[in-house]
Amino acid sequence: MNTKTYVDQHKDRFINELIDLLKIPSISADPAYKKDVIKTSEAIKTSLEKAGCDHVEICETPGYPIVYGEKIIDKNLPTVLVYGHYDVQPPDPVELWDSPPFEPVIKNTELHPDGAIFARGACDDKGQMYMHVKAMEYMTANNELPCNVKFMIEGEEEVGSESLGWFLERNREKLANDVILISDTGMISKDVPSITTGLRGLSYVEVEVTGPNRDLHSGLYGGAVANPINILCDMIAQLHDENNHITIPGFYDKVEELSTEERAEMAKAPFSQEAYNKALNIAAEHGEKGYTTNERNSIRPTLDVNGIWGGYTGEGAKTVIASKAFAKISMRLVPDQNWHEITELFQKHFESIAPASVKVKVNPHHGGTAYVTPIDSLGYRAASAAYEDTFGKTPIPQRSGGSIPIVALFEKELNSKSILMGFGLDSDAIHSPNEHFGVWNYLKGIETIPHFYKHFTEMSK
């Protein structure tokens, strides 16, 4: 039975199983949800066993466990390693969700006339990860598995995959593979399939500015002492110049500059600035001078404040000068910036611009290195052929602005290429309120993945 028929016959169950998985709030960033994160790893174990994997185990790490499962049919055949993550982003701000983030509902939208599943993690990454579990089910149930498969599903992706390197170092043999398959990215649109060939790296830091040793009355002290909030704003403002270039000395030294040809190739992807601004309800775009929107969010590094707090933030007014102000700042990196080096450059620079009237602390959080995959690899060609089978179109290679730091780690530790077959859309609002994943996209992913296995095995011969 071909994949399309099987998916049509079982789609209701496929959707309900995902919904059950989405009900568990596996928020890795918040220790309060530890039990739920663990519970999710157990649910993944069960689903891998049902899908036909052998030796499924929950592998302990210094952090959250990694779920492993495999199906080895012939040592002489190639091996595909599937990577995904079962943890999700915090749902904040919860009040902006139209339905509770962990009570999944299916609603029709303009882009998703067949319905979309609304829940935190629907797309990133429970939905996309579960496509692979269901594709596995199809292949084993119908004797269509053409090669060996290994699954490695982690629970710390949203907090920097801190235990993954530890795990890879200790399990190189167990994880040995010929290609790594990941669905944790998006495609251009439902009728323009694309394969992500580039990802940005990341450096995430938290900064703390301390002024006076206690909160002060802004009347008695205002004007005479450094206000840590004003100073923090001042320092953050200094991190970009008037052209929105980042001012940290050395920040751009190793940035890979794309050729005119490469930029021209990128510019071919269908894009409407007007539609983009309309979708975000902004009057004007904003970014680094000399680059287009699609370049700014993919081939150029960035510096964004992800959170800021200090002083009185409650109702009403409090005339206080706070003792401390804080910010969470992340930098998206491109080839060939080294995230450890960038973190150090940030720290050195941020401390250097602090006035004598305050104390500054920079706490490095986590990071990852950028990655670009060649489009002539076996894995890329197999993925391309799979999309042609099910979309009837050749997918467009696309740079993505997001980061999956582990892709570079895989190349280093396991010495194999990752293929990023994403079925989500930018409009899926991952990391935002009302995250969702199109039912069509979900089922199309399950339908397409087995074609990858077929082509990859044949091309490997």
- Does residue 365 interact with its own copies by CB under 8 A? yes
Identify which of residues 33 and 410 has a Cβ nearer to its own copies in the complex: 33
The amino acid sitting at 92 is: D
Please state whether 317 falls in left (phi above 0), alpha (psi between -120 and 50) or beta.
beta
Q: Between 366 and 405, how does the x/- string for binding to its own copies read (CB under 8 A)?
A: x---------------------------------xxxx--
Q: How many CA atoms lie within 13 A of 32 on its CB side?
A: 3
Site string for its own copies, 116-155 (x = CB under 8 A): ----------------------------------------
Angle at 71 between CA 68 and CA 76, to 5 degrees: 125
Closer residue to its own copies in complex, CB, 192/320: 320
Taking CB under 8 A as the criterion, which residues in 9-48 touch its own copies? 28-31
| Binding residues for its own copies restricted to 207-226, rule: CB under 8 A | 211-226
Q: How many CB atoms lie within 10 A of CB 364?
A: 15
- Position 61 contacts its own copies (CB under 8 A): no
Q: Which is nearer to its own copies, 78 or 401 (CB)?
A: 401
Site for its own copies in 289-328 (CB under 8 A): 293-294, 296-297, 300-302, 304-322, 325-328
Answer for the pair 166, 406: CB distance below 8 angstroms, yes or no: no
> What is the Cα–Cα distance from 310 to 173, expressed in whole angstroms?
49
Asked if 229 touches its own copies (CB under 8 A), the answer is yes
Buried b (16+ CB within 10 A) or exposed e, 240-277: eeeebebebeebeeebeebeeeeeeebeeeeeeeeeee
Among the listed residues 68, 83, 151, 204, the single contact to its own copies using CB under 8 A: 204
Span from 104-112, 188-196, 230-238, 336-344 in contact with its own copies (CB under 8 A) = 230-238
Q: Does 416 bind its own copies (CB under 8 A)?
A: no
**Size of residue set near its own copies by CB under 8 A:** 101
- For the residues of 2-56, what is the DSSP string, one character each? -HHHHHHHHHHHHHHHHHHHHTS--BTT-GGGHHHHHHHHHHHHHHHHHTT-EEE
* Nearer to its own copies (CB atom), residue 288 or residue 341: 288
* Residues in region 62-121 near its own copies by CB under 8 A: 89-90, 92-93, 96
Structure tokens given for 152: 């490695």
List, in order, residues 6 or more apart from 220 with CB less than 8 Å away: none
- Between 92 and 144, CB nearer to its own copies: 92
Note whether 429 binds its own copies by CB under 8 A: yes
One-letter identity of residue 103: E
Nearest approach in angstroms of CB 222 to its own copies is 4
Q: Which is nearer to its own copies, 65 or 368 (CB)?
A: 368
3-state secondary structure of 299: coil
